[in-house]
Amino acid sequence: MTTPIRWPAEAVWEAVAPLLPGFTVEVLPTIDSTNTELMRRARAGQTEPTLLVAEQQTAGRGRLGRVWQSDVGASLMLSLGLPMAPKDWSGLSLAVGVSVAESLQPTLPPAQPGQPPRIGLKWPNDLWLSGDRKLGGILVETASFVAPQAAQPATAHGTAARYVVVGIGINVLPRSAEGMSMPPGCLQDVEPGLDAPAALLRIVPPLVAMLQGFEACGFAPVQPRFAARDVLQGRPVTLSDGQAGMANGVGDDGALLVHTAQGMQAVTSAEISVRPAVVSTSL
């Protein structure tokens, strides 16, 4: 018989409720997708700040429709939904990535043998461990409405609130690489003994603070922190439209800067996906 997972729902609520009035925490044994469920609720007019955690997802989604599923306890799968009204939405998924990476590994260890793997960020929404292993992913979705009962007044810059769902999936235990384009990493590689409940408590309160800071100031103040963990910086990349070039960091708006044969290109997550170029060698 599987031992029930002891989730720190009350501790998360106590840390976040002062920042988000009306905040609730729910833990479900199984759901198709935490992001999908919060978007369903938003369409029905339920747009209160909500953290939804699933022990198992049957139809979890990643970016570009990729599937994210996991056995109970093997991954941390959560979605945070709340109304937001930033002046500029650009770079939101990058800011989320910075918050999560810093919560799980506040200080980057030296890049040398014998040290724990470094948690880096692969533009626009993946957490990677050193050695090009995917630790987790982020899926940010927005609804072009906020129900009247939850609507916030327009901000000083005149932007109306929208309901935002921030989905995060992180491998906690080792998993098979079968069917994956790259080998997976897990939290146990970074910090043995760190489980999903402990990771949840580390991640959520700073994430709420990051989202509120982003709403007030945008991505620019976070850009140097992203740069410190940017795993594509200085590496050859191939864009999905066939262009190739050298990754040159991200701009203040979160766009990936790629130096191509046509010059410097600013790539946004809405336009293109990016993968490190495959370098072939011969003996």
Catalytic annotation, residues: 63, 134, 275
Tell me if residue 181 falls in helix, strand or coil: coil
Q: Tell me the two tokens of residue 15.
A: 């840390």
Q: How many CB atoms lie within 10 A of CB 214?
A: 23
Place of tokens 């990771």: 199
| Residues 245 and 259: beta-carbon distance below 8 Å | yes
Using CA atoms, how far apart are residues 99 and 225, in angstroms rounded to an integer? 9
What phi, psi does 207 have (nearest 5°)?
A: -65, -45
**Which residues are CB-neighbours of 122 under 8 A, at least 6 positions away?**
128, 134, 231, 232
Using CA atoms, how far apart are residues 29 and 9, in angstroms rounded to an integer? 14
